[in-house]
Structure 1
Amino acid sequence: MTNEWRIYQGAHEPHDGIDRLPPPPPWRDFQEGDGSATPFEREVHVGSGRRLPRENAYYADDRTIEAVNTALYLRRPLLVTGDPGVGKSTLADAVARELKLGTVLRWPVNSKTTLRDGLYRYDSLGRLEEAGVDRADGTSAVATDLGRYVSLGPLGTALAPYALPRVLLIDEIDKSDIDLPNDLLDVFEEGSFEIPELARAADQQETVDVRPAGGGAPVGVECGVVRCLAFPFVILTSNGEREFAPAFLRRCVRLPLPSVTTDHTRLRAIVRAHLPGAEEQADEIIARFKQHAATGELATDQLLNAIYLVSRTSQDGAPDLDRLVQLVFQHLNVTVPAES
């Protein structure tokens, strides 16, 4: 029965469990009429040149699995909080790969990011340049091909009318401008947004095909409105550097990830996932990693870097273990003074 409830199981093999996802709660049902679905490639591929992680390189415990499934069932964003290196961002890849939901849409956030950056881009300069140019047959290029000036951002693409949820990673939301989380509320509640430049021209061109983020089939936008059929699986990551308003928090499923820097068993599991066969030889390095983590902030990728380097120290001139530890286990929250 537990496995039946778990759409996402933390498994290492892709499966079609997403087909068992029941209908959404009535207040989270965004399907209106008989809108046609936009096709997308469900197999994970490297469309942007980014190297995807190994398919078995993420360890999901029961708490993580339950939180992911809760977000899937309720059609709510998943707010994942934790220290750097605990696997917040990698979780999106793991879910997309296992449930065969295509390549993850990524939206990295900083203090200058606005909601529109995630929704769409409009090439106003390009349209102005061609506004006075008529085609040979006398028709206006602007009036007949509005889609050439519009492209969807990661958030806008995730809200496109796909039959299955796309996976969207909004990375480091705590680094955003203070208004961005609140700006997201309407989009998350409505499952739709308007592109004013297309809405104003709807009497000339009711349906416009626009380019989605990451490539793929064009998205048909009717009367300037992008409306999802299946609410996307959204992961928002936070390093815990700020607090969020209650209105934002109550619309999210929250998953605080504890630090793994003191958990020998989980550290060995992480090493096993990323460097198969190395966990037995890694115990001494893990012990040193835990000692250093007790006095300052470290990330698990520093542990993996150290273990990889140790496997290469058989060559002449390579530094010994003490020096490697000194080089790699530098605290993230301490400024290292220059050596004299």
Structure 2
Amino acid sequence: MGPVDVPRRPPADEVRLVNASILLRRPLLVTGRPGVGKSALAFRIARELSLGRVLQWPITSRTTLASGLFEYDVIGRAQSGQAWYVAQQQAAPAGAAASGPQPPTDIGDFVQLGPLGTALLPHRLPRVLLIDEIDKGDADLPNDLLTLFEDGWYSVPPLVRVRNQSPEVTVHTADPGGFAPVREGIVQAHAFPVVIMTSNGEREFPEAFLRRCLRLDMADPDAEGLAELLSAHFSDRLGDMQEKLIRDFRQHSEQSDGLAADMLLNAAHLVTSGAYAYEESDDAEWQAVLSAIWHPLNGDGTGRSD
């Protein structure tokens, strides 16, 4: 399940950059604090352009380009062949050699395309691919991705090796219950995917990578943006408390060198639960709860970063 996509009025620069990214067929690198809606941008694009389900690829320090393209379960295929052989032996009369159909050779049952590999299938309309927190990946991953996007195709070596016996193989995709045919072991994009890459600014990217991407820096939401966020989630349940909650949140954010917008939602959930008397702003229990849930993002309690 992806981030909650709440109604909002996007800033003009955001609209311009998204449109330019689609027209120029270039990835859009989205930066900003955690909680400002970087990942949600991909879901808004998919919804407004009717491009279907967003393909999500979360990046970690162990993520490789190959893992985003496809996985081949070679052990599973070997076990399947062994199970077939044992079944044939058990079914054969005593002392007779096993006979019957050849063991299953549909290699496609053991190939699973990843979100990146699925995005590059020859779809009629482009798919939206969310590459989440790309700054956590290996240093070579950004440039490897750009090379792949420029080529617009990739090979699946296990399928290439059997292309003479099986020119077209149906494989699993990253969509739930999805399948797609692959010819000659090659996947060639028809429509360039809409690629949204998010970054929390944890490290610098190579110049070549930044030069070939478009970059959108999402600012922290202002009071109006926070009000839209709360209204989308809670309708009018906050009542008169909404304005005070936003004012307190922005004050805490300034003192802590910035808080994530989703921290405001946590406080609003507690307010609407009725467990705390938020009208009594000096209530010690409530202030203790706020201090716990509105903690500085750098974790040191000072709001400073080295």
TM-score by length of 2: 0.85
Deviating beyond 6 angstroms after TM superposition, the runs of 4 or more aligned structure 1 residues are none
Aligned to 1:329: 294
Give the distance between the partners of 1:214 and 1:280, measured in 2 at CA: 44
- Could you tell me which residue of structure 1 aligns to residue 162 of structure 2? 201
Q: Which residue of 1 aligns with 2:229?
A: 270
Q: Is the counterpart of residue 284 in structure 1 residue 234 in structure 2?
A: no
Give the drift of 1:58.
4.4
1:32 is aligned to none
Q: Secondary structure at the match of 1:193?
A: strand
The structural deviation recorded for 1:280 is: 5.1
Q: Aligned residue for 1:241?
A: 202
Confirm or deny: 8 A CA contact 2:270 2:276 kept in the other structure: no
**2-structure distance, mates of 1:171, 1:226:** 23
The DSSP-based 3-state class of the residue aligned with 2:259 is coil
Aligned position for 1:10: none
Judge conservation of contact 1:313–1:319 (CA < 8 Å) in 2. Answer: no
1:138 aligns with 2:97: no
Determine helix, strand or coil for the equivalent of 2:251. Answer: helix
1:288 aligned partner, one-letter code:
D
Alpha-carbon contact 1:150-1:210 (below 8 Å) kept:
yes
SS at match of 2:255: coil
CA change 1:52–1:330 in 2 (3 A) is closer
More helix by share: 2
AA aligned opposite 1:294: E
Q: How far apart are 1:59 and its partner, in Å?
A: 4.3
Count of matched residue positions in the alignment of Structure 1 and Structure 2: 283
Distance of 1:315 and 1:288 partners within structure 2: 15
Q: Are the counterparts in 2 of residues 272 and 279 from structure 1 also a CA contact under 8 Å? A: no
* Displacement after TM superposition at 1:130 (Å): 3.6
For structure 2, which runs of at least 5 residues remain unmatched after alignment? 89-98, 278-282
Note the residue ranges of structure 1 that are not aligned, 5 or more in a row: 1-49
Structure-2 residue corresponding to 1:35? none
Please tell me whether residue 157 in structure 1 is matched to residue 122 in structure 2: no
CA–CA separation in structure 2 for the residues paired with 1:130 and 1:86: 47
Which protein, 1 or 2, shows the higher relative CO under an 8 Å CA cutoff with sep ≥ 6? 2
Offset from partner CA, 1:95-122 (integer Å, 9 cap, x none): 1112221111111001110001110010
Match of 1:312 among 266, 269, 273: 273
Once residues 280 and 68 of structure 1 are traced to their aligned partners in structure 2, the CA distance between those partners, rounded to angstroms, is: 36
Give yes or no for the alignment of 1:115 onto 2:65.
yes
**Amino acid of the structure 2 residue aligned with 1:257:** M
Q: Does 1:89 align with 2:39?
A: yes
Counterpart for residue 96 of structure 2? none
* Aligned equivalent of 1:80, options 12, 15, 30: 30
Alignment-mate amino acid for residue 334 of structure 1:
G
With normalisation by structure 1, the TM-score equals: 0.77
Is the CA contact 1:172–1:237 (under 8 Å) kept in the aligned structure 2? yes
2:39 maps to amino acid: S
Residue 129 of structure 1, CA deviation:
2.4
Higher Rg: 2
RMSD, matched Cα? 2.4
Higher mean Cα deviation, 70-79 or 278-287? 278-287
Corresponding letter in the other structure for 1:295: Q
Q: 1:84 to 1:70 in 2, by over 3 A?
A: same
* Aligned partner (choices 229, 253, 262) of residue 293 of structure 1: 253
**Equivalent position SS for 2:195:** strand
| C-alpha distance in structure 2 between counterparts of 1:280 and 1:150, whole Å | 55
SS at 2:38's partner residue? coil
Counterpart CA distance in 1 for 2:223 and 2:4 is 22
2:4 equivalent to 1:53: yes
Q: What percentage of residue pairs aligned between the two structures are identical?
A: 44
Distance 2:3 2:248 in 1: 29
Partner of 1:34: none
